[in-house]
Structure 1
Amino acid sequence: MQPPLPLGTLLQNRYSIARILGQGGFGRTYLAEDRGRFNELCAVKEFAPANTEPTAFEKSRELFQREAEILYQLRHPQIPQFHAIFEENQRLFLVRDYADGETYHALLAERRRSGTTFSEAEVMQLLRDFLPVLDYIHAQGVVHRDLSPDNLIRRQSDGLPVPIDFGVVKEIATQIQSPETQVQRTIVGKPGYTPIEQWQSGLAYPHSDLYALAVTSIELLTGRELPDLYDDRALRWNWQPWAAVSPQFARVLDKMLADRPDERYFTAREVLDALEASSTPSVPAPQPSQMQTVAVGRPIESATPTVRSSRPQPSIPTRGQPSFWDNPITIALAGLGLAVLAGWSSWTLVGAFVRSNDPQPAPTPIPEQPFVPATPEPTPTPTPTPTPTPTPTPTPTPTPTPEPITYDRALNLTPGGNISLEGTLKSNEIYNYRIRGTAGSQLSTFVSGERVLMSVFDPLGEPLPDRSQRVSVWEGTLPLAGEYTLQLQTVRGVPDGDYGLSVTLSLPPTPTPTPEPTPTPLPEVEVETLQFPQGQTDVQAFGHVNDRRIVRYLVSVAPDRIFAVELFPVTPEGEDVRFTVRRPDGQPISAATGVVFWQSQVSEGGMYQIDVTAPQPRDFELSVSVYDRSN
């Protein structure tokens, strides 16, 4: 790792390093003053790639910029805003808001020193304050991946929890440190806080963050180290003996800590709903009376008494059933006889009921006034109410994305000249600067401003080679003659940005005339056939060679014979003499090329060639042997 930046170092002529906030395996985090924002404090995170080769570093920078754009789009009052990324002296930097406060790790350490821990109410409030932040992050398609007490800060200004050190940033840093291993999944997280599926595969989901948040919660509740809270034999968390919490809250945490992902809550909103349900006392539903109730008739002029369900009453036929009194002839015949009987019966029944249920004295019945029951009216058949057809809710028409506004401007740039200009670009604007160039000209373009990127297109509208899209710098040779386009756009998700553009066009280099190659004269080859004396298996030859003269010896060799060649310099200067052995087809033997000794059993019989060469005039002695292995 490179040494830390000295205090007072000014980065990008803007960020003044005040002190080191922290250091990890991927780099350092500095507290800096932003001179572009009235010396407002900010956090500058540094990544120093281990491989600084130009190609590898360019890939690192491209990866860093692409992933940082995702974090730049996170806009939440409890998330430190990411402001800029830049590269300086082979180091990559990311700038974000400074969250002033203490980590929950530091807060827990203070509690431990005083012999206390976080209460259930405090941890419950932490979850209620932080779960909406997680819900927002996950809705943007981002997973934190590295939640722990170290990466949660209780902000000093309002006491709200603030996440720092997103795991996606550490994943970028890991790939930057080891670009050759990018084909493998990068595992980011801390042992104990990271669920098993994330630790094994590197994949993280919203419920992975919920698992890490639950581990953080039980650590705050118990104040104990994580190995004390996990049962290695049962392979489950066993934290409740060290925490005094309600059973409802414990069930919520246990579900967040489930070993199987499909048994956990899937979203932060589900956890919030469960917390609300666990903190709201349940009201028992009223039990309906099982006593039978009945209506009692009274004379028309009397008020109907209140019926209590303290004791059962005889059942009275309902008003829609056929009655004895429905026949008017019966009424006429019964007439007077029933009048007295009905009056007496009515008085007896009602009086008994009222005396038992009403403390007030019962009214004195009038015997001479007969009780004439009202003629029951037929129960009307209810007309079924037609089910109203629901009015379909119109699907809202999506608001069309406004077309970008394109501006074209021709730059009068002559070969050998330079143009510099400045401007402000909005998110829905595209600036096309056009220049004319000739084939072979050298173009150098640079756009400054952390929110604006540039693409370079050839006269056919195709991007130029060597990474020319959404970059800050491009340099290269123009392949065609015609009009080239420098297209400026803001970084995705950025509302607007100031920029400066510098363009330099250089004349194509004057070609140096290539001299006609002088033909190299072919060396002279002197051929000599070697004959073995009668009864002998070796022969010696003497000769003279130079850079333009090759001595070639022809030797007849039978199949499966041992063929040996050795060269001896005649003078000390002759050590640069070499020979090459060729097969009967003229192809050189690789092991016998440019050597001074060679020996092998040949499988192919025929006329072999021995070429002796030297860069300078040299005398030599050559010894050649051909014999049967049995000899």
Structure 2
Amino acid sequence: MQSPITTGTIFQNRYRIIKTLGQGSFGRTYLIEDQRRLNELCILKELILTTISASSWQKARDLFCREAEVLHQIKHTQLPQLREQFEQDQRLFFVNEYIEGKTYRTLLDKRQANSSVFTQTEAIHLMKSLLPVLAYIHGKGIIHQDISPENIVLRDSDQLPVLIDFGLVKKLASRLQYPITTSCNAYIGKLGYSPREQIQMGKVYPSSDLYSLAMTAIVLLTGKEPPELFDEQKLTYNWQDLVTLNPKFSQLLNRMLSYHQCERYQNVVELAEIIEVVEEISIINMNISEIQSSVTNRKPNRVRLNPLARDNTVIPASLTSILNTPLILGAFGATIVVLSGLSSWALVHSIRTQKNNQPISDKPLQTSSLPSISKSFTPTPIIVKQPPIEKKFKRLIFNSSNTAKDNGSITLNQLIRYTFQGQTGQQITVMLAQESGVHFNFLAPNDQLIENTSENSSFYQGILPVDGEYKIDVTTSLQVDESDYSLYVGIEAITQPVTNDTSTDIS
């Protein structure tokens, strides 16, 4: 095995080694600066070769160039761009874009130092932010194979997660190290983060990446590594007692972690639809909890009652003594009863006499008149006028990676229409992120919903059926007055997935 490259070494009269970042069984990683681009920082990956005979070197070069062509096709804003590949002194190198930021492993370590971990909201946000990336690479027939907290960087410039260190490079390195076998002796991925079929059989599917994404989320939520959570008897992960989550979110993670590949979500589209519902439920529950908390913590208004006024009248002692005599008190009570009876009889007799002496009038009894109601009366309907829909129009501008993104704010009774030119056979991914109560309708050039889509979607992936101008109408639900949103659109021509030639013999 060749020795590491010393600091200060310059390759291609351009790249200067600053320091070694890491070394594994498949290669080494260096931080370098590009002297032709104002000393811009880059990442240099060296693939380690075990045999350097003339014939094996030539076959290694051919395989290296073929895999580099695949990596050059990967162009996404949340993936580091491959700048170039080269060989020097019988060494093979990749030059990648450097992502300024911290890995989620570093962020978790910092949280745990303060006795905290990631929240459910943060975990859902991370997963939703990575779904467009996975949809992009899976659409090209590429599986990342190595998703973990170490391989996700929170970029400083826009606070978006970036996937680094494709397993494809490690797979290439393993094939260069084990040229005689058609399959590598070492698995690609990380123990605990990669599913059974990937580690034991070397088979990968889109659901394999979703498995790794779920395990990454659980590690961030619990602060525990997969071996600490694994139950060897039941072959399951015991993690739910360590963190309180929405039950729907727990079910989603457990399904992503299913032991059998066929029991998981099979693709990003399937997962995106479910996680959207889970997030809405979580927001509702969080709002209810906040309301309950505010009601519980509110102090009740206290009413101060004035004490009853006391009668300070003094009863003379002589009167008190008389009332305390039983005979006097009885005579006094009897006198009151007799007088009351006489008064009542006199009052009733007077009323009867007055009624008998009053003359009866011949005029009919007058009553207050009431308005008559016509049988044909129809109440006038009250018409509530809805404010007119305010329309805004925006043109999607795609970058060199054929992706477009727009962050905005939308209010009730507002429609924001995004337009772009599409061609038959192009694959497209449309996704709303960082939103609450915002959805879109994807319209074909004939202004009808594109086939296989439903109204008020938040994610779509498919093939454009015809040439023409397509429209994405973004609106809010009736329960939302205003919301921020982030729209992502990726478009590309259909290409056949590049398959690895596992039968190549390097000897």
TM-score range, shorter chain: 0.5 to 0.7
Q: Give the 3 Å change call, closer, same or farther, for CA 184–151 of structure 1 in structure 2.
A: closer
Give the deviation of 1:154 after TM superposition. 1.3
User: Which whole-Å CA distance do the structure 2 matches of 1:102 and 1:305 have between them?
Assistant: 68
Q: Does structure 2 retain, via aligned residues, the 8 Å contact 1:80–1:162?
A: yes
Residue in 2 that maps onto 1:132: 132
Which structure 2 residues correspond to residues 387-406 of structure 1 after superposition, within 5 A? 396=466
Q: Which of the two has greater helix per residue?
A: 2
Give the deviation of 1:196 after TM superposition. 0.8
Q: What SS is found at the alignment partner of 1:275?
A: helix
Q: What SS is found at the alignment partner of 2:215?
A: helix
Which structure 2 residues correspond to residues 372-451 of structure 1 after superposition, within 5 A? 396=466
Q: What SS is found at the alignment partner of 1:37?
A: coil
User: Which whole-Å CA distance do the structure 1 matches of 2:156 and 2:378 have between them?
Assistant: 70
| Structure 2 gap ranges (5+) | 285-371, 381-447, 452-463, 469-507
Give the deviation of 1:184 after TM superposition. 5.4
Which structure 2 residues correspond to residues 540-555 of structure 1 after superposition, within 5 A? none
Residue in 2 that maps onto 1:111: 111
User: Which whole-Å CA distance do the structure 2 matches of 1:197 and 1:207 have between them?
Assistant: 11
Give the deviation of 1:182 after TM superposition. 3.0
Q: Does 1:80 align with 2:150?
A: no
Give the deviation of 1:97 after TM superposition. 0.1
Runs of 4+ with deviation above 6 angstroms: none
Q: What SS is found at the alignment partner of 1:94?
A: strand
Give the deviation of 1:48 after TM superposition. 2.5
Q: Does 1:189 align with 2:189?
A: yes
Q: What SS is found at the alignment partner of 1:197?
A: helix
Query: What number of residue pairs does the alignment pair up?
Result: 300
Q: Give the 3 Å change call, closer, same or farther, for CA 185–23 of structure 1 in structure 2.
A: closer
Aligned AA for 2:109? A
Q: What SS is found at the alignment partner of 1:117?
A: coil
Aligned AA for 1:171? K
Residue in 1 that maps onto 2:268: 268
Q: What SS is found at the alignment partner of 1:280?
A: helix
Identity %: 45
User: Which whole-Å CA distance do the structure 2 matches of 1:132 and 1:191 have between them?
Assistant: 25
Residue in 2 that maps onto 1:255: 255
Give the deviation of 1:185 after TM superposition. 7.4
Give the deviation of 1:304 after TM superposition. 5.0
User: Which whole-Å CA distance do the structure 2 matches of 1:196 and 1:167 have between them?
Assistant: 16
Q: Give the 3 Å change call, closer, same or farther, for CA 26–183 of structure 1 in structure 2.
A: closer
Q: Does structure 2 retain, via aligned residues, the 8 Å contact 1:175–1:186?
A: no
Q: Does structure 2 retain, via aligned residues, the 8 Å contact 1:68–1:169?
A: no
User: Which whole-Å CA distance do the structure 2 matches of 1:182 and 1:39 have between them?
Assistant: 41
The TM-score, its normalising length taken from structure 1, stands at: 0.45
Q: Which of the two has greater strand per residue?
A: 1
Residue in 2 that maps onto 1:17: 17
1:302 to 362, 376, 395: 376
Q: Does structure 2 retain, via aligned residues, the 8 Å contact 1:21–1:29?
A: yes
Residue in 1 that maps onto 2:206: 206
Q: Does structure 2 retain, via aligned residues, the 8 Å contact 1:132–1:269?
A: no
Deviations 1:540-560 (A, max 9, x none): xxxxxxxxxxxxxxxxxxxxx
Residue in 2 that maps onto 1:420: none
Aligned AA for 2:216? T
Deviations 1:42-74 (A, max 9, x none): 101001311000100111111111012111111
User: Which whole-Å CA distance do the structure 2 matches of 1:191 and 1:100 have between them?
Assistant: 27
Q: Does structure 1 retain, via aligned residues, the 8 Å contact 2:104–2:149?
A: yes
Q: Does 1:4 align with 2:78?
A: no
Deviations 1:386-430 (A, max 9, x none): xxxx9x9996379xxxxxxxxxxxxxxxxxxxxxxxxxxxxxxxx
Q: Give the 3 Å change call, closer, same or farther, for CA 183–219 of structure 1 in structure 2.
A: closer
Q: What SS is found at the alignment partner of 1:180?
A: coil
Give the deviation of 1:87 after TM superposition. 0.8
Residue in 1 that maps onto 2:357: none
Residue in 1 that maps onto 2:402: none
Aligned AA for 1:302? S
Aligned AA for 1:75? K
Residue in 1 that maps onto 2:316: none
Q: What SS is found at the alignment partner of 2:116?
A: coil
User: Which whole-Å CA distance do the structure 1 matches of 2:37 and 2:187 have between them?
Assistant: 36
Q: Does structure 1 retain, via aligned residues, the 8 Å contact 2:46–2:91?
A: yes
User: Which whole-Å CA distance do the structure 1 matches of 2:16 and 2:184 have between them?
Assistant: 37
Aligned AA for 2:262? D
Aligned AA for 2:273? D
User: Which whole-Å CA distance do the structure 2 matches of 1:74 and 1:305 have between them?
Assistant: 67
Q: What SS is found at the alignment partner of 1:95?
A: strand
User: Which whole-Å CA distance do the structure 2 matches of 1:115 and 1:23 have between them?
Assistant: 31
Q: Give the 3 Å change call, closer, same or farther, for CA 397–162 of structure 1 in structure 2.
A: closer
Residue in 1 that maps onto 2:35: 35
Q: Does 1:159 align with 2:159?
A: yes
User: Which whole-Å CA distance do the structure 1 matches of 2:111 and 2:374 have between them?
Assistant: 79
Give the deviation of 1:189 after TM superposition. 1.1
Deviations 1:563-591 (A, max 9, x none): xxxxxxxxxxxxxxxxxxxxxxxxxxxxx
Which structure 2 residues correspond to residues 464-613 of structure 1 after superposition, within 5 A? none
Residue in 1 that maps onto 2:62: 62
Give the deviation of 1:199 after TM superposition. 1.4
Aligned AA for 1:48? I
Q: Give the 3 Å change call, closer, same or farther, for CA 251–61 of structure 1 in structure 2.
A: same
Give the deviation of 1:36 after TM superposition. 2.4
User: Which whole-Å CA distance do the structure 2 matches of 1:94 and 1:25 have between them?
Assistant: 16
Q: Give the 3 Å change call, closer, same or farther, for CA 35–249 of structure 1 in structure 2.
A: same
Aligned AA for 2:2? Q
Q: Does structure 1 retain, via aligned residues, the 8 Å contact 2:148–2:212?
A: yes
Q: Does structure 2 retain, via aligned residues, the 8 Å contact 1:28–1:46?
A: yes
Q: What SS is found at the alignment partner of 2:271?
A: helix
- State which structure, 1 or 2, has the greater radius of gyration over its C-alpha atoms: 1
Give the deviation of 1:101 after TM superposition. 1.6
Q: Give the 3 Å change call, closer, same or farther, for CA 200–183 of structure 1 in structure 2.
A: closer
The TM-score, its normalising length taken from structure 2, stands at: 0.56
Q: Give the 3 Å change call, closer, same or farther, for CA 242–10 of structure 1 in structure 2.
A: same
Identify which range, 164-173 or 248-257, moves more after superposition. Answer: 248-257
Deviations 1:151-207 (A, max 9, x none): 111112222111111001000000111212235576311111111111121011110
Q: Give the 3 Å change call, closer, same or farther, for CA 16–102 of structure 1 in structure 2.
A: same
User: Which whole-Å CA distance do the structure 2 matches of 1:228 and 1:6 have between them?
Assistant: 38
User: Which whole-Å CA distance do the structure 1 matches of 2:102 and 2:243 have between them?
Assistant: 23
Q: Does structure 1 retain, via aligned residues, the 8 Å contact 2:175–2:183?
A: no
User: Which whole-Å CA distance do the structure 2 matches of 1:302 and 1:184 have between them?
Assistant: 90
Identify which range, 202-211 or 108-117, moves more after superposition. Answer: 108-117
User: Which whole-Å CA distance do the structure 2 matches of 1:184 and 1:124 have between them?
Assistant: 35
Aligned AA for 1:222? T
Q: What SS is found at the alignment partner of 2:36?
A: helix
Aligned AA for 1:396? V
Deviations 1:225-268 (A, max 9, x none): 21221221111122110012111211111111111111111112
Q: What SS is found at the alignment partner of 1:146?
A: coil
Aligned AA for 1:232? E
Q: Does structure 1 retain, via aligned residues, the 8 Å contact 2:103–2:150?
A: yes
| Higher RCO by CA contacts (8 Å cutoff, separation 6 or greater) | 2
User: Which whole-Å CA distance do the structure 1 matches of 2:150 and 2:190 have between them?
Assistant: 10
Residue in 2 that maps onto 1:561: none
Q: Does 1:179 align with 2:179?
A: yes
Aligned AA for 1:135? A
Residue in 1 that maps onto 2:47: 47
Q: What SS is found at the alignment partner of 1:181?
A: coil
